[in-house]
Amino acid sequence: MTDNLRRRRVFRLIAGGLGAALTLSACMGGTTESGKDAAAGYDPKANVEITWWTGQPDEQEKVAEQLAAEYHTAHPNVTIKVSSGAPTTDDLITKLSAGFTGGSYPDISYAYGNWAGDLGASGKTQDLTSYVNDPSFKWTEIPAAAREVATANGKVIGIPALVDNLALIYNKKLFDQAGQAYPTDSWSWDDFRAAAKKLTNTATKTYGTAYSVSGSEDTTWHLWPMLWQHGGKILDGTKPAFNSDAGVAALETLRQMAVDDKSMYLDQTDEKYGPLFNSGHIAMMLSGPWSLLDIKAAKLDYGVVDLPGYNGDHQTVSGPDLWVLFNHDDVNRAGASRDFVKWLTSTEIDPKWNLAVGNLPLRTSEKDTPEFATYVKEYPGGQKFFDNLANAKQARPTLPGYDELSHNVGDAIAKVLQGQAQPKAALDEAAKKSATAVGN
């Protein structure tokens, strides 16, 4: 597993394309769709060439090329031009923005879920709503939160490419050394806080837990499950609502650990807390299934349980990435790109992609495949992350301006955890800054 891939996994939700994403919706002037199905009249036997930007580093790019070749063998009339599309996944949003302006953009592109609102507003995406709701697509096999992220302004603009969620990963050795009982699925945030405090050892530079204070989406999305567990919402319509009593209570819990207890390692970069967990200097990490690859390499004895909860609510958050399909006013390109992505994300083929590279399966039906059995054996905790998808009951908003909102909330969290602000004032300021970005 390359460093580039690990970085992509950790940063898949970062608002690195903020400026470009905002340019998409601002410059394209919203949707220009006529309401006609982009693939109406598609001839599945027509000779056609489609372009696929995978957004993947070298190792995964090779797998993508092999799958494209496999599809071409079965459909010799369809040629798929495969490339990463940009130097890094984060750069795809800039490349797409430029391509929309110049008329040079792919038929299919990988995209972070937090770009969906801006891409949907570009006027360049296909409307896949009727297509995915055909019974043959088996749309409901994909987790509900992922389906919601693929939907922008009421229209399905892509198919989930990857699903994940946050859970609590813990180092058994550190718990044993401290004489602490292991976390359970029924833990509350009070349980989590108490354990983090007891597991912190300044002499060995060991912390009970960690949190990103970079201000990125990695900072923001860790707060959302706590907000939802308290009954709060990110938005009320298009009005920021995260600064409610629920949001303040959630952030206060984190502040207590970071400022009062000093049991939380504050990562300024997003890049340090994972390696510190793997080296035995952080006892509990709130992270996703992508972390299991590095943990396995570190040969840690670890466990995975649901996120701590509030009043028995253990909601988590999922950060799906997408295969977004674009319209070129060519029914055969549109139809071929749909057919390819349907094939790629099917129960038969997805294990060759996601499970092969250490990701969770897209579909519930994949739990019975030999590839999934191999995955959960190779990555202890993988079954827990798969089961935890049921706790991903809500999704981050897919509307233009979410990236800016995320940045504002991330900055607020960072200030609070570093003792520079109080939760209510910081979230109120973030809400005020975000109001215009999301439509008010």
pLDDT tens digits, 288-298: 999 999 999 99
Average pLDDT in the 305-309 region? 98
Q: Identify the pLDDT of residue 300.
A: 96
User: Could you give the percent of the chain with pLDDT greater than 70?
Assistant: 92
Beta strands in 86-227 (DSSP E): 108-112, 151-152, 155-156, 158-162, 167-171, 209-212
Structure confidence at residue 403 (pLDDT): 85
Q: What pLDDT does residue 439 have?
A: 76
Question: By C-alpha distance, which of 128, 118, 130, 134 is closest to 160?
Answer: 128
Please state the rounded mean pLDDT for residues 344-361: 93
Residue of 401, 385, 237 lying closest to 318 (CA atoms): 385
Reply yes or no on domain 167-317+401-434 having CATH 3.40.190.10: yes
Cα→Cα distances 109→97, 160, 262, 322, 388, Å: 12, 11, 43, 8, 27
* 416-431 average pLDDT score: 98
Please determine whether the domains at 3-163+319-391 and 167-317+401-434 fall in the same fold group of CATH. Answer: yes
pLDDT band at 440 (very low <50, low <70, confident <90, very high): low
- Distance, in Å, from the CA atom of 247 to the CA atom of 231, rounded to the nearest integer, reads 9
Query: What pLDDT sits at residue 358?
Result: 84
* Cα–Cα distance measured from residue 191 to residue 196, given in angstroms and rounded to the nearest whole number: 9
At residue 14 the predicted structure's pLDDT band, cuts being 50, 70 and 90, is very low
pLDDT of residue 214: 97
Helix (H, G, I), strand (E, B) or coil at 393: coil
The token pair that represents 236 in the structure block: 């009320």
* DSSP secondary structure code for residue 165 in this structure: -
State the Cα–Cα distance between residues 349 and 159, nearest whole angstrom: 14
Q: Is the pLDDT of residue 3 over 50?
A: no
Question: 53-66 in b/e burial notation, b at 16+ Cβ within 10 A?
Answer: bbbbbeebeeebbe
In the predicted structure, residue 30 carries a pLDDT above the cut 80 = no
* Over residues 90-104, mean pLDDT: 93
Residue 153 has pLDDT above 70, yes or no: yes
pLDDT surpasses 70 at 7: no
Size of the chain in residues: 440
- Specify the pLDDT at position 42: 94
Q: What value does the mean pLDDT of the chain take?
A: 91
What average pLDDT does the segment 368-392 reach? Answer: 95
Does 18 have pLDDT greater than 70?
no
Three-state secondary-structure class, residue 4: helix
CATH architecture of 3-163+319-391: 3-Layer(aba) Sandwich (3.40)
Burial class (CB in 10 A: 0-12, 13-18, 19+), 183: buried
Whether residue 2 is predicted with pLDDT greater than 80 in this model: the reply is no
The pLDDT, as a whole number, for residue 22 is 41
For residue 24, what pLDDT is reported? 52
For residue range 175-233, list pLDDT tens digits in order: 999 999 999 999 999 999 999 999 999 999 999 999 999 999 999 999 999 999 999 99
Residue 133's region, left for phi above 0, alpha for psi from -120 to 50, else beta, is alpha
* CB contact set of 93 (below 8 Å; sequence gap of 6+): 16, 17, 20, 21, 24, 111, 112, 115, 118
Pair of tokens at residue 180:
């602490």
Torsion-angle region of residue 37: left (phi > 0), alpha (psi -120 to 50) or beta?
beta
Domain boundary assignment for the chain: 3-163+319-391, 167-317+401-434
Indicate whether this model's pTM tops 0.85.
yes
What is the tens place of the pLDDT at every residue in 109-138?
A: 999 988 898 899 999 999 999 999 999 999
